[in-house]
């Protein structure tokens, strides 16, 4: 029984380089002396610290609570003392620092009390809140809070639960190794998510360059108490993109600007499913993840590393770089972000640390002008017109860029990869996207300021009127009490005269313009 595969548009096939990091099993990284837990590790509002400097914390203790709806908690990855809540470099393309909770480990690695939850008998809303407080965010790279995606919404809106084991980026193998070694746990996580979503079908998509993972997942699926279909998809970047994986497996396309749930599919990374299992069945919050350390290192391998571990600790474990290091990437060569320094901690989104050398990653040739060959359009998995987007983003014609569905771009880099002129196209799209978002925010702020200014003006006017009325009342009270003064008499006479004049004028009008009826 083979599941029909519907290829998505475009895609590229860069050299995989995955086997170098799959030669040895996942190694548990030792506890570092100091960890730095960023408050902003997920999409949405940063978590709010709930510990103070000097506090002793235990492993798994909540140290920052979810703040707002789109947010999840953060936890102490090991036991120790909070030494600071301060800025520290974080993995971000800006290279800027962001607030982190600094913890000095005591080496005891002393857990909090871990309480498992029976998901079969627990209310779904309670489970969702539990996952938020367990800090679960998508481990595929975007780090979107998982509990939000586990909202079934209108009953039966999500029919299919799709486990994404695509892992299409070159060099990265953390999902591969997770599936090889932890397939049963991944499917136990899927069981929880299936129950929460009331999903009918559970599917898992894995690229055909991971035969060991496919075998392990199939073996685990056989021992499962619910049907799971393991579907092998051809190796083609970016098959691991949620929308591309959905197209491959269901043949359906997520509408422009829409979400996968719009077509009844909820997609989760296999690592996320594992984290859900640990959180619900073992009471362990998300404090560690599998990270591939590869590229220009002595021994490329996967580590089970605590969140907050400075990447230099992992680099030291992976051995000396055989060639001169020219930089570090978090993620793969297609979509990864440059890391300026090695004190940067592992975060929930850190799937890979890729060490560069000039031989492995030669600097890109100089860009030439666009010749409008449209090879980028052939390669675009979102079926956009990258050459048009480039044109409009480059000339800062943002309205036009949006007309060409700029925001459907997944920034996969296929267009830049095939560009014969070596134009860094994605950089232009990122620039245009962030410029458009900033303008929208500015416009909202301006509208907000306008309404506040208008209500202030209205308030001032009202206060003035009320004051005048009060004064008039006071004056009226005074005049009725006091005997009429000559000045008042004169005023009264003047008013009386005016009334008389008006009456005369009215009478004249009636006489001069008789009704035409």
Contact status: 514 vs another protein (CB under 8 A): no
Contact status: 93 vs another protein (CB under 8 A): yes
The span from the CA of 421 to the CA of 371, in Å, is: 8
How many Cβ atoms are within 10 Å of 436's Cβ, its own excluded?
A: 17
Contact status: 452 vs another protein (CB under 8 A): yes
Contact status: 96 vs another protein (CB under 8 A): yes
Q: Which stretch binds another protein (CB under 8 A): 161-169, 374-382, 420-428, 499-507?
A: 420-428
Please, what is the minimum distance in Å from the beta carbon of residue 435 to another protein? 6
- 202 beta partners: 161, 228
Residue 54 CA: distances (Å) to CA of 19, 51, 85, 225, 302: 44, 9, 10, 48, 33
Please, what is the minimum distance in Å from the beta carbon of residue 309 to another protein? 20
Residues 27-56 that bind another protein (CB under 8 A): 40
Please, what is the minimum distance in Å from the beta carbon of residue 392 to another protein? 13
User: Which member of 28, 86, 367, 497 binds another protein (CB under 8 A)?
Assistant: 367
Please, what is the minimum distance in Å from the beta carbon of residue 369 to another protein? 7
Would you say 168 or 423 has its CB closer to another protein? 423
Burial 373-400 (b: 16+ CB within 10 A, else e): eebbbebbbbebbbbbbbbbbeeeebeb
The span from the CA of 159 to the CA of 264, in Å, is: 5
Specify whether the CB–CB gap between 72 and 147 falls below 8 A. yes
Residues 372-411 that bind another protein (CB under 8 A): 396
Q: Which stretch binds another protein (CB under 8 A): 128-136, 214-222, 330-338, 363-371?
A: 363-371
Q: Which stretch binds another protein (CB under 8 A): 242-250, 281-289, 435-443, 491-499?
A: 435-443
Contact status: 511 vs another protein (CB under 8 A): no
Contact status: 365 vs another protein (CB under 8 A): yes
User: Which member of 368, 371, 468, 502 binds another protein (CB under 8 A)?
Assistant: 368
Residue 138 CA: distances (Å) to CA of 163, 221, 234, 304, 427: 12, 22, 24, 17, 24
Q: Which stretch binds another protein (CB under 8 A): 47-55, 85-93, 195-203, 309-317?
A: 85-93
User: Which member of 208, 447, 466, 488 binds another protein (CB under 8 A)?
Assistant: 447
The span from the CA of 221 to the CA of 240, in Å, is: 21
Determine the size of the site formed for another protein (CB under 8 A). Answer: 35
The span from the CA of 262 to the CA of 26, in Å, is: 36
Residue 180 burial class via C-beta count within 10 angstroms: exposed 0-12, middle 13-18, buried 19 and up: buried
Would you say 94 or 512 has its CB closer to another protein? 94
Contact status: 161 vs another protein (CB under 8 A): no
Paired tokens of 246: 């959905």
Contact status: 121 vs another protein (CB under 8 A): no
Would you say 71 or 260 has its CB closer to another protein? 71
Q: Which stretch binds another protein (CB under 8 A): 147-155, 190-198, 234-242, 453-461?
A: 453-461
448 HSE (CA, 13 A, CB side): 6
Would you say 448 or 503 has its CB closer to another protein? 448
| DSSP letter, residue 476 | H
Would you say 442 or 466 has its CB closer to another protein? 442
The span from the CA of 75 to the CA of 50, in Å, is: 10
The DSSP-derived string for 258-288 is --GGGGTEEEEEHHHHHHHHHHHHH---S-E
> Which residues contact residue 18 at a Cβ distance below 8 angstroms, ignoring those fewer than 6 apart?
170, 171, 172, 173, 176, 209, 210
Please, what is the minimum distance in Å from the beta carbon of residue 357 to another protein? 22
Residues 98-117 that bind another protein (CB under 8 A): 98
- φ, ψ for residue 459, nearest 5 deg: -65, -45
Q: Which stretch binds another protein (CB under 8 A): 29-37, 106-114, 437-445, 487-495?
A: 437-445
User: Which member of 156, 258, 431, 466 binds another protein (CB under 8 A)?
Assistant: 431
Strand order in the sheet with 48-49: 48-49, 62-65, 74-75
Burial 268-301 (b: 16+ CB within 10 A, else e): bbbbbbbbbbbbbbebbbbbbbbbbbbbbbeebb
User: Which member of 4, 363, 369, 486 binds another protein (CB under 8 A)?
Assistant: 369
User: Which member of 2, 94, 123, 223 binds another protein (CB under 8 A)?
Assistant: 94
Would you say 262 or 466 has its CB closer to another protein? 466
Q: CA torsion angle for 428, 429, 431, 436 (degrees, to 10)?
A: 140
Contact status: 449 vs another protein (CB under 8 A): yes
Contact status: 430 vs another protein (CB under 8 A): yes
Contact status: 424 vs another protein (CB under 8 A): yes
Would you say 449 or 473 has its CB closer to another protein? 449
Q: Which stretch binds another protein (CB under 8 A): 169-177, 198-206, 281-289, 429-437?
A: 429-437
The span from the CA of 260 to the CA of 266, in Å, is: 6
Contact status: 512 vs another protein (CB under 8 A): no
Peptide bond between residue 39 and the one before it cis (omega within 30 degrees of 0)? no
Contact status: 467 vs another protein (CB under 8 A): no
CA geometry: angle 331, 204, 131, nearest 5 deg: 70
What residues make contact with another protein under the rule CB under 8 A? 40, 90, 92-94, 96, 98, 365-369, 396, 423-424, 427-428, 430-431, 433-435, 438, 442, 445-450, 452-453, 455-456, 516
């Amino acid at each position: 029984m083979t599941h029909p595969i519907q290829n998505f548009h475009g895609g590229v096939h860069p050299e995989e380089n995955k086997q170098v990091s799959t030669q040895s099993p996942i190694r548990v990284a030792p506890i570092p002396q100091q960890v730095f837990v960023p408050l902003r590790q997920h999409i949405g509002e940063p978590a709010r610290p709930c510990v103070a400097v000097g506090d002793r914390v235990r492993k798994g203790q909540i140290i920052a609570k979810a703040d707002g709806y789109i947010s999840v908690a953060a936890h102490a990855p090991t036991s120790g003392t909070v030494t600071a809540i301060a800025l520290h470099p974080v993995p971000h393309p800006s290279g800027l620092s962001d607030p982190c909770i600094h913890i000095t480990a005591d080496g005891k690695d002393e857990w909090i009390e871990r309480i498992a939850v029976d998901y079969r008998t627990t209310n779904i809303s309670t489970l969702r809140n539990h996952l938020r407080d367990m800090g679960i965010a998508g481990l595929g790279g975007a780090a979107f809070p998982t509990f939000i995606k586990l909202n079934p919404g209108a009953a039966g809106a999500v029919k299919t639960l799709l486990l994404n084991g695509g892992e299409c980026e070159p060099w990265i193998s953390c999902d591969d190794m997770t599936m090889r070694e932890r397939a049963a746990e991944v499917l136990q996580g899927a069981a929880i998510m299936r129950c929460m979503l009331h999903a009918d079908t559970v599917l898992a998509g894995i690229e055909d360059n991971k035969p060991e993972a496919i075998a392990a997942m199939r073996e685990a699926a056989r021992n499962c108490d619910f049907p799971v279909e393991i579907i092998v998809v051809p190796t083609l970047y970016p098959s691991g993109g949620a929308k591309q994986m959905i197209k491959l497996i269901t043949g359906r396309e997520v509408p422009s600007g829409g979400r996968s749930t719009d077509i009844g599919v909820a997609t989760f990374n296999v690592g996320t499913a594992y984290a859900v299992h640990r959180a619900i069945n073992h009471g362990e919050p998300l404090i560690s993840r599998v990270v591939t350390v590869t590229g220009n290192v002595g021994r490329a391998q996967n580590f089970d590393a605590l969140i907050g571990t400075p990447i230099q600790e992992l680099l030291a474990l992976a051995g000396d770089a055989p060639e001169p290091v020219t930089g570090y990437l978090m993620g793969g060569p297609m979509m990864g972000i440059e890391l300026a320094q090695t004190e940067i901690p592992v975060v929930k989104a850190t799937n890979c640390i890729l060490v560069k050398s000039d031989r492995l990653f030669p600097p890109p040739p100089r860009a030439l002008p666009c010749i409008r060959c449209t090879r980028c359009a052939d390669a675009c998995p979102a079926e956009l017109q990258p050459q048009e987007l480039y044109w409009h983003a480059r000339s800062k014609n943002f309205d036009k860029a949006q007309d060409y569905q700029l925001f459907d771009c997944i920034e996969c880099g296929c267009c830049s990869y095939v560009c014969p002129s070596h134009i860094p196209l994605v950089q232009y799209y990122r620039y245009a996207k962030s410029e458009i978002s900033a303008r929208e925010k500015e416009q909202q702020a301006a509208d907000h300021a306008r309404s506040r200014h208008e209500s202030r003006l209205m308030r001032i006017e009202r206060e003035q009127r009320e004051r005048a009325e009060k004064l008039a009342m006071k004056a009226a009270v005074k005049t009725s009490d006091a005997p009429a003064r000559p000045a008042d008499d004169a005023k009264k006479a003047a008013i009386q005269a005016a009334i008389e004049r008006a009456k005369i004028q009215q009478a004249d009008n009636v006489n001069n313009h008789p009704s035409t009826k």
